[in-house]
Amino acid sequence: MHHIEPCFTWRDYYRAEDDLNSPFFNREYSEFTLSNRIYDRYIHPQWDDFGSPTLYLKILYTDYVKGFTIIEFLGEWNDCINNDIMFLWEEIIKSLISKGIFRFILLGENVLNFHYSDDSYYEAWKEELVEEDGWIVALNFRKHVIEEMQIAGIDKYIFMGDHWELPLWRTLEPVHVFLHVESSWLKVLGMAKKIKPA
């Protein structure tokens, strides 16, 4: 697991540790010492700890003008035992929203499992974005993780599913990933308006 590194190709565009508004501003990383673990497996030192013992993240890109951020995840998303969504909300999301971020792209191909507790933090997150016409999109999450989230009703708050796949996202620039997701979201919104009863 320590070989799985957050997307490195975007570091020329953005580094959270250099961003004054980032929750990880001034954070220092070791290239050689492994300290964070998921259960008994050490992980790459570039992943950021936000309070969960099983889920780590990396803010890959944030654009305060367009109001979006792209966050990559690694590990087990466990709301049941670790209350991961609470840590994510309190330590990361609220801070980003306070800086004008209202569009969230969550990259989840390295999220191995999802365990549900309740949806109150997801609901609070979505409600904070309503006035800005914001959204949360889960991109490239594994099929069984998406299914577990859908069973739990998390898809009421986070857009997810096959049409949100973008397998070659690492070959694109961050703004192109955003434009792809925004375009897909507008299509979904358009379809929802068409089928909405009068």
Topology given in CATH for the domain delimited by 16-195? Transcription Regulator spoIIAA (3.30.750)
- Residue 107 CA to residue 103 CA, distance in Å, equals 13
Query: What is the pLDDT at residue 138?
Result: 97
Length reported for the chain: 198
Phi, psi for residue 60 in degrees, rounded to 5:
-80, -30
Contact 114, 151 (CB under 8 A): no
**What type of residue sits at position 42?**
Y
Q: CA–CA distance from 83 to each of 75, 87, 121, 191 (Å)?
A: 14, 7, 10, 34
Q: pLDDT band for position 196 (50/70/90)?
A: low
Query: What is the pLDDT at residue 7?
Result: 92
More confidently predicted of 29 and 71: 71
Average pLDDT over residues 82-105: 97
Q: Which two tokens stand for residue 133?
A: 């016409």
pTM of the model: 0.93
In 3D space, the residue among 82, 100, 109 whose CA is nearest the CA of residue 4 turns out to be: 109
> How large a percentage of the chain has pLDDT more than 90?
75
- Torsion 166-62-1-30 (CA) sign: positive
Domain edges within the chain = 16-195
Query: What is the pLDDT at residue 37?
Result: 87
Query: What is the pLDDT at residue 151?
Result: 96
